[in-house]
Structure 1
């Protein structure tokens, strides 16, 4: 006669094996996950800021997570469309572009500012010593934008300029894509451009202030002559067709980051941000609409 305890133990072992199967399935399919990051600052700065997060995720998920710093914003978008980048951190317009070209992506976490707000702005910088008081004073001058898929460095600026009846390609002497927010500021500092659009969260945090802390620029050397309406903060997004338990594990690890590993979280935001909050696609519909509008502007000119 088989003892009841033996039968119970066997059933329990079978149940545990069955519950573990999905995790084992995705780990065999994804022995490595790639975390893509747009180059909004120089490569060394991006590596220093985001590598600890991928190490944290590797520990939490039990599978290797590798940081990939793209050459431009489009490379991250295309990497998600091809399925080669499973998780990405980028601006709202990059998420919108990925969605519009058919990448199967969904946002799951949003950046939160130190004051609890979940939005930021596009601002137009000029040198403090320059004579420019508003954007109209820049007619015939050189403008630095960031990247065609940058929210605060291209799409919102073009939307704001359209409201002022300014066609940047006709209004300015030259429009230059600097490649990163840092390069756009450096362009103004070095005189390549007379003005540059950039991201600005609050009085306590902006790309310019980050550059000041790194010794790359002096915030006092620049002033703002134009500020956009608020834009929804940047998302982190993963591929929609990842296994549900893997997505849940990624989401939980990211939302718990500030509590579980405050050192890693503060490495990213330098004490200037609050923990990530959950978000979904609906929050980015206005940015998708704006991206479509900017596309329409471009097509109408061509």
Structure 2
């Protein structure tokens, strides 16, 4: 269950408030004393907060109210926060957005997806093993153990499960066991430590594999010196998945939403390093999207939910 935390970084929020110089008084601020942004799990909390400090400062200045960050331990925490109206914005995976939409189509609206370095608006799920495991293909995974990232992750669960089943691989029969690593980063660590034979995660698929590609969980770990890509072998890749959206709460004050959207729309031009940190990697900026961009994933998630009943 999502529980609102105390203000994440009091000093940053105070700074954002002090810097704010709105030209005119705006009634919506009495209804929205702070703009609350949910941060998905998958990376340790300190890193998530550090990477979004620029959002706290810059967006807080433009809004004239503090921006507060609420990191959740898993995807479900952010989803529940949005559904309960306790959050005003968040970046989600496509499956996370689909999960919210299927519970309440009026809860949030998708606004942007990040573009990759080559201008594409999708990414991939990949299955990886330890390079010294002797496992070189999905055929070698029969009778082995597999770590998914999170049950609400598109690349870390929904898509690999669906595509493997389309290949007539019954997960219960094919693998010795499957489980959840507790997030993308945690699942990689579990595979490296020998707790699982393989895991699945997300990557842009663009750029140098030795660097963890241009965006994704692997790149993030390489950048933090938590991973040497020579220790992993990628043995499977999904079809292209639509990038996950930044969403805003539908019933949030329109002026606040307009300010936040305008700030994000040009972020790659005004402060590229902030764009890299907020969007979790290099790319060509944000692209405007709406619900239609995610209809296939919504239907995939719907089928998954119906099949689990």
Q: Give me the TM-score of the superposition, normalised by structure 1.
A: 0.87
Name the counterpart of 1:93.
95
> Offset at 1:260?
2.5
The root-mean-square deviation of aligned C-alpha atoms, in Å, is: 1.7
Give the drift of 1:42. Answer: 1.5
Task: State the alpha-carbon separation in 2 of the partners of residues 266 and 203 from structure 1.
Answer: 15
- Between 1:42-51 and 1:57-66, the stretch displaced more is 42-51
1:220/1:203 CA distance change after superposition, 3 Å:
farther
Distance 1:263 1:113 in 2: 15
Partner of 1:185: 188
Q: Does 1:280 align with 2:290?
A: yes
8 Å CA contact retained: 2:124, 2:202 = yes
Bigger CA drift: 224-233 or 50-59? 50-59
8 A contact 2:41–2:183 mirrored in 1: yes
**Contact 2:55–2:67 (CA under 8 A) maintained in structure 1:** no
Q: Which runs of 5+ in 2 are unaligned?
A: 1-22, 208-213
Instruction: Give 1:298's match in structure 2, choosing from 290, 298, 308.
Output: 308
The separation in 2 between residues aligned to 1:244 and 1:67, in whole angstroms, is 20
Relative distance call for 1:171 and 1:83 in structure 2 (3 A) is: same
Map of 2:51 onto structure 1 = 49
Task: Give 1:146's aligned residue.
Answer: 149
Which of 74, 82, 90 pairs up with 1:72? 74
Residue aligned with 1:108, SS? strand
Q: Determine which of 244, 250, 273 is the counterpart of 1:234.
A: 244
Deviations 1:52-71 (A, max 9, x none): 22222111111111011101
Larger radius of gyration: 1
Query: 1:25-69 CA deviation, whole Å, 9 max, x = no partner?
Result: 211100111100111211122112122222221111111110111
Runs of 4+ residues over 6 Å off in structure 1: none
1:122 is matched with 125
After TM superposition, give the deviation of residue 268 of structure 1 in Å: 3.5
Structure 1: 5+ residue stretches without partners: 1-19
SS where residue 45 of structure 1 aligns?
helix
Give 1:269 shift.
Answer: 5.2
Most deviating of 267-276 and 43-52: 267-276
How far apart are 1:247 and its partner, in Å?
1.7
Aligned residues: 279
Aligned-pair distance for 1:135? 1.8
Instruction: State the Cα distance separating 1:217 from its structure 2 match.
Output: 1.2
Greater Cα offset, 252-261 or 59-68 = 252-261
Per-residue CA distance 1:191-232 (angstroms, 9 max, x = gap)? 001000010102422321321221111111111111111001
Q: Contact 2:118 / 2:206 at 8 angstroms: preserved in 1?
A: no
User: Following TM superposition, by how much is the alpha carbon of 1:118 offset from its aligned partner in structure 2, in angstroms?
Assistant: 0.6
Q: Deviations over 1:227-283 (max 9, x none)?
A: 111001121000111222222111111112222333322333576222112111110
Aligned to 1:246: 256
